[in-house]
Chain A
Amino acid sequence: MTQHTLVLNDPIGFHARTASLFAKTAASFESEVSVYFNDKKANGKSMLSLMTLGVKSKQEIRIEVSGGDEDMALDRLKNLVSSNFIASA
């Protein structure tokens, strides 16, 4: 299992577009992806689940990945979030 904590800089937070990009990227890996915010946990491969976290701009999330391709997956997800969702999904 590997994890990373970072800030979401998108001006709206996890909304349809950003949650969708995150979920698509996560779904391209075998590993399980979870996102933690406050006390809530979401399935990183589900746009709806990510949106229910209610993450707003400049708030901190923790990404947890476990599985065979966890390092590569975490790397891609980190890049996606820190590039403000410009890095290709």
Chain B
Amino acid sequence: MTEVYTGKVVSKGIAIAPARKVALPPELVVPDHGIEDLKHEQVLFDKALAGARDYVSRWKATMNGRLEGEALELYDAYDEMLQDPELVIQTKDLIESSSKNAAHCFFRVTEDYATTLMALNDPYLSARSEDIRMLADLVIRLLSGQEIQELTWTDKAVIVSRQLTPQQLSSMNSDAIAGIVLVEGGLTDHTAILAQALSIPLLIGVSEQVLEIQNETPTLLDLEAGVFVVNPNTKQIHHAQEKLGVLQERFEQARLQATEKTVTKSGRSISVEANVGSLLEVKQAKANGADGIGLFRTELAFLQQKTLLSEQDHYDVYASILEGYEAVTHTIRLLDFGSDKPLSYLPVAKEENPAMGLRALRLGLKNYDLLLKPQIRALLRISKEFSIRILCPMIATEKDCIEIKSLIQYELKDLKTKGYKELKMPPFGIMVEVPNVAVNPKKFVDLADFFSFGTNDLAQFLMAADRSNVNLSIYFEDVKPTLIAIIEKFNSHAKRLGKAVSICGELAADTDFTEEFLDIGISSLSMAPSQIPIVKRRVREIK
């Protein structure tokens, strides 16, 4: 029977594919009971270890081609841990000495290792203790027949779920995600941003009832029309296929023109740049004619990492991502961790209100040597090779701004004494996303070389409305005139000192405002790569 669901469209597009449900796995239960046949229990344990190794090798095969080098080597480390002689022997000994079941014994042995590694207070080894716990979870589930959730498949499917975290989304092969339908989720949270970047249609705020869908049920997700159709009839499918063809053709046309110069009919120009967080998105940005990277979200490029990054790791990532993209200027933002992008290797306390918590620079400054120092030094070094600007997130006060700037200047001075004599300070900019900065242009325009409006966070702080709460989406329509007024005022102050203002939130891609941004004199707009051709086309239509 055909059913139709509606919701809020976050990322447009059309998908015709079977449904696949994704849920958080139920919490692990470690069974604890006595056993009589010790030998048999040890055989079961060996079997579970072999089963877990099969899982690991499948994960590795799925990620092959999407991950490289060290990230891929992690799977080899998992495989080795599952064969570690101490882990195996100690568990078997414990089965014999305690006459308890294998799951219980393996849990005790692995917890021992995990705790010991954690206690060494070394971020690298703490991350390994997370790995051991993850593997223990897998082995214990295999031993006790508890559900194991894998988010890996190779054919295309529409994900149906209550929620989807950015980690879940980045752990899946994006080619296999035809579309996403969620009961919860916000318009501008990071899952939304990733979906837009990858051009995956995303519908949120859909009725709970959708979760009753069976896996593999045929569906049609038509987010040009804003509907999710379960069990569509052939006429509906045929119609959607036709629409999809037209869309693809229209986008292709816009894309072909995207690399041409973007000026209005009267010759005014604005730089249309890309928000990126991975190599894949940089490729998309180039293909879609981006005038540079306007916002490099460095934290996304590192979400899949299991360990802290050294200065050289940072350098290598930036070098590989920017390679072949030397002709234009790129804006790289310092790490914005915390909040809804937690790090596996840097445990942070759970906060009541993470968006306004210890995140971004606040977290970075508190863990300066671990997080920001290697990144800043790598960026300064790479500024010799590429034209880059450094952008600082979550500035709230003049003190925040002065503190981070002086740290960058200190690292520059230090690098100069260590053989990097010819380095110069790259342009230093701040995000305008905290209201205290946005409404005080006079105080801040002297303190930085350029300014970038993060309209998503600014909007949620202005309206005191959580951007991940689907019931509050209406506020993000009403906030637009306020944002425009604030941007206009800030820009007029910045312009007097000859400083550039750019916009990198959702608002940048809203073609209803492109003309207004040109009139105000905004220097650049930065958006998901998939939106660039459309905005460029809009610019060409304006006088």
Q: Which residues of A contact B (CB under 8 A)?
A: 11-13, 15-17, 20, 23, 27, 43, 45-49, 51-52, 54, 56
Contact = CB atoms under 8 A, between A and B. Distances in A.
B242 interface: no
A1 B116 CA distance: 29
Given A15-B124, A15-B125, A49 B86 contact: yes
B181 interface: no
Of the listed residues A12, A20, A43, A47, the one surrounded by the most CB atoms of chain B closer than 10 A to its CB is A47
Given A15-B125, A15-B128, A16-B77, A54 B120 contact: yes
Nearest to A49: B86
Given A46-B85, A48-B87, A54-B122, 4 more contacts: A15-B125, A16-B77, A47-B81, A51-B128
A52 B77 contact: no
Contacts of B124: 12, 15
Contacts of A54: 120, 122, 125
Contacts of A27: 85
Highest count of chain B CB atoms <10 Å: which of A13, A17, A49: A49
B117 interface: yes
A43 B90 CA distance: 12
Contacts of A48: 81, 84, 86-87, 113, 132
Nearest to A53: B120
A1 B132 CA distance: 33
Given A17-B73, A51-B117, A52-B113, A43 B122 contact: no
Interface of B: 73, 76-77, 80-81, 84-87, 113, 116-117, 120, 122, 124-125, 128, 132, 310
Contacts of A45: 85
A27 B83 CA distance: 12
A56 B112 CA distance: 21
Contacts of B113: 48, 52
A23 to B, nearest CB: 8
Given A43-B85, A43-B86, A51 B80 contact: no
B377 to A, nearest CB: 15
27 contacts: A13-B122, A15-B125, A15-B128, A16-B77, A16-B128, A17-B73, A17-B77, A20-B77, A23-B84, A43-B85, A43-B86, A46-B85, A46-B86, A47-B77, A47-B80, A47-B84, A48-B81, A48-B84, A48-B86, A48-B87, A48-B113, A49-B84, A51-B125, A51-B128, A52-B113, A52-B116, A52-B117
Q: What are the 5 A-B residue pairs with the smallest beta carbon separation, nearest first?
A: A46-B86, A54-B120, A49-B86, A52-B116, A16-B77
Contacts of A11: 310
B117 A20 contact: no
A52 B120 contact: yes
A15 B128 CA distance: 9
Contacts of A15: 124-125, 128
Interface centre among A46, A49, A54 (most CB of B within 10 A): A46
A23 B86 CA distance: 11
A88 B350 CA distance: 44
A2 to B, nearest CB: 21
A42 to B, nearest CB: 9
A13 B84 CA distance: 19
Contact of B87 (A17, A20, A46, A56): A46
A31 B206 CA distance: 63
Contacts of A23: 80, 84
A52 B124 CA distance: 12
Contacts of A17: 73, 77
A13 B122 CA distance: 11
A13 B120 CA distance: 13
A9 to B, nearest CB: 16
Contacts of A49: 84, 86
A20 B86 contact: no
Nearest to B73: A17
A56 B85 CA distance: 23
Contacts of A56: 122
A21 B150 CA distance: 30
A27 B286 CA distance: 49
Contacts of A13: 122
Contacts of B84: 23, 46-49
A72 B113 CA distance: 31
Nearest to A20: B80
Contacts of B122: 13, 54, 56
Contacts of A52: 113, 116-117, 120
Nearest to A45: B85
A23 B77 CA distance: 12
Contacts of B76: 20
A20 B77 CA distance: 8
Nearest to B132: A48
A35 to B, nearest CB: 12
Contacts of B310: 11
A39 to B, nearest CB: 14
A52 to B, nearest CB: 5
